[in-house]
A and B are shown apart, each in its own frame.
Chain A
Amino acid sequence: MTLISASHLVIRRGADDILTDISLSISAGEIVTIVGPNGSGKSTLLRALLGILPPTSGSVSRKAGLRIGYVPQKLQIDRTLPLTARRFLSLPTRQTAAATTAALIRVGVPEVADRQMTDLSGGQLQRVLLARALLSTPEILMLDEPTQGLDQPGEAAFYRLIEEVRRTTGAAILMVSHDLHVVMAASDRVICLNRHICCEGAPRVVSNAPEYRALFGLGTQGALALYRHEHDHDHTHDCGHAHTAGQPHQHGQTHV
């Protein structure tokens, strides 16, 4: 069953084509990671799929009544706004105290319930955002660079949590990452974006690099592995679009 799909989606801002001719679809239960360099339109694509940005041309369609759990890239809460984590979880749908407590336990930060949102660490904030997304019992979780600002163990722990969420809820997961080296091994598909879809396919799992295993403390059956893009291949097909001078070609391609 298709949850969200885009067909020949174009997003233009001023004279700038931020996204051109994007066609993709996300099915129920699938884990899809969008990778690409900074400025490649990843967040824009996510916002277009969410319906926040209207397409310049082409179309986006979501399953009727689709429940989306969205975790934004960052949440800047003004210091003038007093807001505990528990209160935040009740927005915009009111939740019982039992439900918010359970959600916080599930993401591993029960101790922050009565703390102010502005006092949380980056990792705690990401987990609270995830807890809020989970409270709507989403059919799809959409995460925009959820591990930005986390250190590597924090990042690994967060990916394990997402993986666990997928296993227990069966929700599809669409995640954006600018880190070309680390994506979830569990991704069913990786979409490489640079204003258009360069390529997509199953990630090549690199599980035998001992220095990374040591870093993440995961065995071959771990939730996280490395997906290494090949940087030194030559471009022969449709990724050969204009790159501004001085900006190295960062995105790569892996094909299956």
Chain B
Amino acid sequence: MFDDFLIRAALAGIGVSLAAGPLGAFVVWRRMAYFGDATSHAAILGVALALATDLPVGLGTLAVALAMAITVAALAGRGWAMDTTLGVLAHSALAFGLVAVSFLPTVRTDLSAWLFGDILAVSLPDLAFIWSGALLVVALLIWRWQALLTTTINEDLAAASGLNPARERLVLTLALALTVAVALKVVGALLIASLLIIPAAAARGLARNPESMAILAATIGAAASLVGLGLSLGLDTPAGPSIVTAAALTFAASAILRRP
């Protein structure tokens, strides 16, 4: 059944959503939207470096995304003006990546696949990479759930309960880098952040507890992947942006429903 490119695409979308939904909830709760942007834009630089050095693209993306996420987290810890710092980092990461890519003729021709994803070209090894990464992220979040939630609510409260807020932040940083690496093939560097934020934001209006918001976000993301794929097939639109469009429409519907 994995022979069908459509089934592989659908499974890839669902796999990414499983990780992006719950992680996206933390991104929303902690107001880390720009953080997600910076990390995912850095993925393009990772692609360029990986291709130039003949390393697997997934590894290159993961390494650069992790480096970016750790840099951002360290700067945040030093009390830099996050809005400005993240703006600088997010956009320069993208620019550096695009400049680096222009030196590689093979990528240059295929740039839009890296920017907007190429879910219909997901291979079996891609699928294995996506699902193992996504399951790792989910396992990490479930394992640290109570601690992550306490730290998100109030770091002093977490520290007084014997938790180490710095460690929990690192867990989120790791999960973010992993999710970026995993989602690159599906929605591309420019739209990864939207897959984190939009399903979680859509889930907010319908949830009364953090757990239900996380599960709903994953479900909405998965449904949007399927609807987006259908849209892409029926209307011959690009798959990645179609998935994000479907998620955005869900958000709009949830925002209207929520109105008392």
Contact = CB atoms under 8 A, between A and B. Distances in A.
A interacts with B = yes
B209 A78 contact: no
A81 B157 contact: no
A72 to B, nearest CB: 5
Contact of B210 (A51, A70, A87, A92): A87
A89 B197 CA distance: 27
Interface residues of B, number: 27
A77 B153 contact: yes
A75 to B, nearest CB: 6
Contacts of B163: 92
A136 interface: yes
Interface centre among A70, A76, A77, A93 (most CB of B within 10 A): A70
B84 interface: no
Contacts of A142: 160
A81 B150 CA distance: 12
Nearest to B158: A92
Contacts, number: 67
**Chain A interface SS verdict (over half):** loop
Interface string B204-219: 1001111011000000
A185 B180 CA distance: 57
**Chain B interface SS verdict (over half):** helix
B25 to A, nearest CB: 8
Interface centre among B161, B208, B210, B212 (most CB of A within 10 A): B161
B31 interface: yes
Nearest to A80: B28
Contact of A91 (B149, B155, B201, B207): B149
Q: How large, as a class, is the contact surface on chain A?
A: 20 to 34
A83 interface: yes
B170 to A, nearest CB: 17
Interface of B: 28-31, 146-147, 149-150, 152-161, 163, 201, 204, 207-210, 212-213
Closest CB pairs A-B (n = 7): A70-B160, A92-B150, A52-B159, A92-B146, A81-B29, A91-B150, A82-B207
Given A68-B160, A75-B157, A82-B204, 15 more contacts: A50-B156, A50-B159, A50-B160, A70-B160, A72-B156, A75-B153, A75-B154, A76-B154, A81-B213, A82-B207, A84-B209, A91-B149, A91-B150, A92-B149, A94-B146
